Amino acid sequence: MIIKKIIFFYSIASIGMILFFPGIGRTSTTDSLMEELMRTPLESLIEMEITSAAKKPQKLMNVASAIYIITADDIKRSTATVLPELLMGVPGMHVVQINAHSWAISARGFNGLFSRDLLILMDGRSLYTPLFSGVYWDTQDLPLEDIERIEIIRGPGGTLWGANAVNGVINILTKKANETKGSLVTVVAGTQERVTTYRYGDQTDSGTAWRVWGKGIDQDPFSRTDGWQAHDSWQRAQGGFRLDKTFSSQDEWSLQGDIYDGNLDQKSTVTSLLAPYNSTLKETNSVWGANLLSHWKRILSSHSDMDFLVYYDHTYRSLDETRDTLDLGFQHRFPLSDHQEITWGMGYRLSHGEYPFDSTTSMDPDSRTDNLLSTFVQDEIQLIPNQVKLILGTKIEHNDYTGLELQPNARVLWRMAEDQTLWTSVSRAVRTPSWSNHNFRINVTAFPMGPPFNVGEISIFGSEAVQSEELMAYELGYRKQFGKNFFLDTTAFYHVYDDLVSNENGTPFVEADAISTHLVTPIYWENKLQAHTYGLELDTQWQTSESLRLQLGASLQKIDLDLKEGSTDTSSLASAGDDPQFQFHLHSYWDIIEHVQLDTMLYYVQRLSSLNIPAFWRADIRLGWEVQKNCRLDLIGINLLDDSTPQFIDAAGATENSEFPRSFLAKLTWSF
């Protein structure tokens, strides 16, 4: 407890000293670390080109969406070793770890192991699985040093990105191959994990730039709430490549891909019609996959271009699914007049999945092929040139579950001054049913009964009657740059959800199989739940001196769930407590002396009432030392305020729950 208090008060005191004495740590050094810092002040953030909000390059002040940028410098100075950890501290996002290899990540509520309302992209490639709706974060990774930036849109993005971009879009953009020449080696050794990365890049005489990379992870198991070791360790090896070729001043082409192989230890509850009926089984989920993406861009003029994208993805998970996906996309941007610009496109996705049968979970049928056809158009009109613009657009999709879906939006942006923006929007977005929503069965529990039945069973069934979940979103945002050193970005939102999936009680029925004749009490998925959410998100950044940058982010939200008339659901209303009403983070990035950096990250997440997760504080510290120009040593402490913290529980029981531990690690980064 004494150590916990010392670390906590040290974190607060160090930030407080800097706030009241902003000159502390200031140095006139011109070493490479300081030069890099000076190339990325807050004014550079404002001038950075962002592509995810409108599928075209835009400056931050011209974006009519709630957007947050994680830059390459933020990544370099983070304590993260894998991709999901980079998303901590984004206002309006809830990022927590369920166990050693599973994360719950959401924006604006409805968090879970598979956060069904958040679309994740990597260089335009969707990472979303149509099996359960969500992302397998345990297989999504790459060398963090190869990420150019991560663009996070909070709020609906369905008009441009399609169904399932309901509460947000995360687009991970990697560096071009010509930006990663030479060798890079990183070695991480810690009390919980070991990570090794190697990357090499070069350029041919013909101008084709390329890189190859490999990354290996060995993660120790966490501990359970009872103090015993959890069965959740994991190992993964992953490698990839990227080629970039510029054929002319108009044509750019890239080809990239990766392949991975790994093992994830997990526990699951197995239901049987024979005694002991319910048991816990230790399993190892073998995972491997590969993907290949090709992207061609033709630049027609400074305001006109065309993009062609095609990718193939194969996923295998021994306990979950085997899936093959082919995706084709086309986009065209052109000016309609001096004050009007059109962006439109079309796409086609073919996805085939197979699901393994066991006594607890099954699909009927056990394989399925889905087709998704889409087109979109967005019209940007300058009502007052360079000051007020109106954005109108819609996405039209046809899927095999619900047929035709329409996702329109209207946005207005007012550039009040060069350093000040006000925007508002009204959007409709949908989450289309997943394969499991229609064809899944999970036997939750079995129990002995008296005659005429020996066994009873409670089971959850998907239903082909499940329709799309709908959202109407209303947002208001304001951004202000105060001089060169202080930035404020705040967003208020009100979301109205309809036809959310609920758990409805059905009429018991008799089922006979080779083992027994038993009574099944069914629960069916139906669309009889609705919700209203509203909240406020805040992001501030302050460059207090040449050597210090501070970030403060906070979010406040309230979720109200209601059952529709006729619903028999007795469990879904409690899920409103799966998300915190309040959370904030405070980061300081400090060059204390020449060649030495001290970065402090402090997080607070309010209590999750329905999961019985208490409020928790988390403090991370990174001490970075540039040993020489191309060699850096980082000493990192994670979760220093508590030796073991429960962050989230997968209430559905799809994976084991364990506690997030305190850990220490050293990271050596060497480029040559």
Q: What is the pLDDT of residue 650?
A: 84
Beta strand pairing call for 340-354 and 321-337: antiparallel
pLDDT band at residue 451 under the 50/70/90 scheme: confident
Q: What is the pLDDT of residue 33?
A: 39
Is 20 a residue whose pLDDT tops 60?
no
Q: Where are the beta strands (DSSP E) in 339-462?
A: 340-354, 361-363, 367-384, 388-399, 403-417, 420-431, 440-448, 455-461
pTM of the model: 0.92
**Reduced DSSP (H G I as helix, E B as strand, rest coil) percent helix, strand, coil of the chain, to 5:** 10, 60, 30
- Please tell me the least confidently modeled range out of 9-23, 324-338, 346-360: 9-23
Average pLDDT, integer, range 100-110: 94
Q: What is the share, in percent, of the chain residues with pLDDT greater than 90?
A: 81
Q: What is the pLDDT of residue 41?
A: 55
Is 128 a residue whose pLDDT tops 50?
yes
Is 471 a residue whose pLDDT tops 90?
yes
Mean residue pLDDT of the chain comes to 91
Is 25 a residue whose pLDDT tops 70?
no
pLDDT band at residue 651 under the 50/70/90 scheme: confident
Q: What is the pLDDT of residue 18?
A: 40
Q: What is the pLDDT of residue 116?
A: 82
* Contacts with 275 (C-beta within 8 Å, 6 or more apart), sequence order: 448
Tokens of residue 304, six digits: 């006109």
Answer left, alpha or beta for residue 72, where phi above 0 means left and psi between -120 and 50 means alpha. alpha
Average pLDDT, integer, range 621-642: 96
* Contacts with 286 (C-beta within 8 Å, 6 or more apart), sequence order: 262, 263, 316, 317, 318
The secondary structure of 64-91, three-state, reads CCEEEEEEHHHHHCCCCCCHHHHHCCCC
Tokens of residue 497, six digits: 């959800």
Secondary structure (3-state) at 61:
helix
Q: What is the pLDDT of residue 163?
A: 86
Q: pLDDT, tens digit, for every residue of 205-235?
A: 888 999 999 999 999 999 988 888 999 999 9
* Contacts with 553 (C-beta within 8 Å, 6 or more apart), sequence order: 89, 90, 91, 537, 538, 539, 540, 584, 585
CA distances from 48 to 39, 91, 298 (A): 12, 19, 22
Average pLDDT, integer, range 476-503: 96
**What is the Cα Rg of the chain in Å?**
25
Average pLDDT, integer, range 490-498: 98
Q: What is the share, in percent, of the chain residues with pLDDT greater than 70?
A: 94
Identify whether 365 is preceded by a cis peptide bond (ω within 30 of 0). Answer: yes
Q: What is the pLDDT of residue 261?
A: 98
- Please tell me the least confidently modeled range out of 19-28, 151-160, 334-343, 422-431: 19-28
Is 32 a residue whose pLDDT tops 50?
no
Q: What is the pLDDT of residue 153?
A: 96
pLDDT band at residue 484 under the 50/70/90 scheme: confident
Is 346 a residue whose pLDDT tops 60?
yes
Average pLDDT, integer, range 510-538: 93
Answer positive or negative: Cα dihedral of 311, 396, 160, 502. negative
Q: pLDDT, tens digit, for every residue of 242-281?
A: 999 999 889 999 999 999 999 999 988 889 988 899 998 8
Is 13 a residue whose pLDDT tops 80?
no
Q: Find residue 622's DSSP bridge partners.
A: 599, 636
